[in-house]
Structure 1
Amino acid sequence: MAKFLSGTQINEFKECFSLYDKKRKGKIEAKDLITVMRCLGTSPTFGEIDRHLQVHKIEKKGELDFSTFLTMMHRQIQQEDPKAEILEAMRMTDKQKKGYILASELRAKLTKLGEKLTDKEVDELFREANVKSNGNVHYEEFTRMVTLPSVDY
């Protein structure tokens, strides 16, 4: 697994994993898997967690070691593509296939569906992506802007 993940990633994963290793036996409870994975920036669904556990023959009330966790994290990272997910969601909203949606429509979805954002968070997102609140959001451009790597200072 080390050949697929960087040393920095492995160290970060180990640190978070250790926080949930309550018995200090090098294992976490399967019920904590979704929380640990989300803390590390992935977005697994409950169905995906169930599949990870099934692949490794781990009961929902069982435990998993760090090596198994690394394999699960690698698979989760490989299957997630935030750019594709955002584009797909925006295309589903664009019934006439115009290539854009109204900013007001996007705001409504961001504040009412899924992991709801506050109006202030949407304002910040729109500002960073150069979206005018009364305009159109061209989803290809918007997706590119919001998925640019952030600069570490």
Structure 2
Amino acid sequence: MVDTIPKEELEKLRRAFSVYDKNGDGEIDTFELTSVLRMLGKNPSPAEVAEIMKRVDKDRSGTINFPEFLAMMLQKKKYCQLDADLRTSFQYYDKNKDGYICIEELRSVLGKHPGPLSQVDINMLIQEVDRDGDGRLNYEEFLTLMRDWLP
């Protein structure tokens, strides 16, 4: 995994890890993780910190080592890129730039989606994600459609 990361980016991540590793032992413990989250403007409960630790601490050591930190940061970067791609897609389909995608345009797009999406399927999807029933999708509704409903 380290071989695929540009050297400059890897160095930035090493420096960030060092900042978060307050006591310099090469690992981020729950106390340090809580401190990091607070520096980022969060106020996590102990349960939230434990949940993050559980997701990231792959070797179940009770701490986050650099490879685990690296995997977490790369996953976050991938997620951020997905968000950027979805934002670009939304802006593309928002033809009149009013912050909404009209249902008719969405039907046309979904009709071209690979896979067996019938008009009934499309109508059910739209009904499910158009929470306010206004016949158009705002960005949050579009995200729900793209993340939860389409492969």
- TM class by shorter chain equals 0.3 to 0.5
Q: Which has the higher contact order (CA 8 A, sep 6+)?
A: 1
* TM-score between the two structures when normalised by the length of structure 1: 0.41
* TM-score between the two structures when normalised by the length of structure 2: 0.42
Structure with larger Rg:
2
Higher helix share: 2
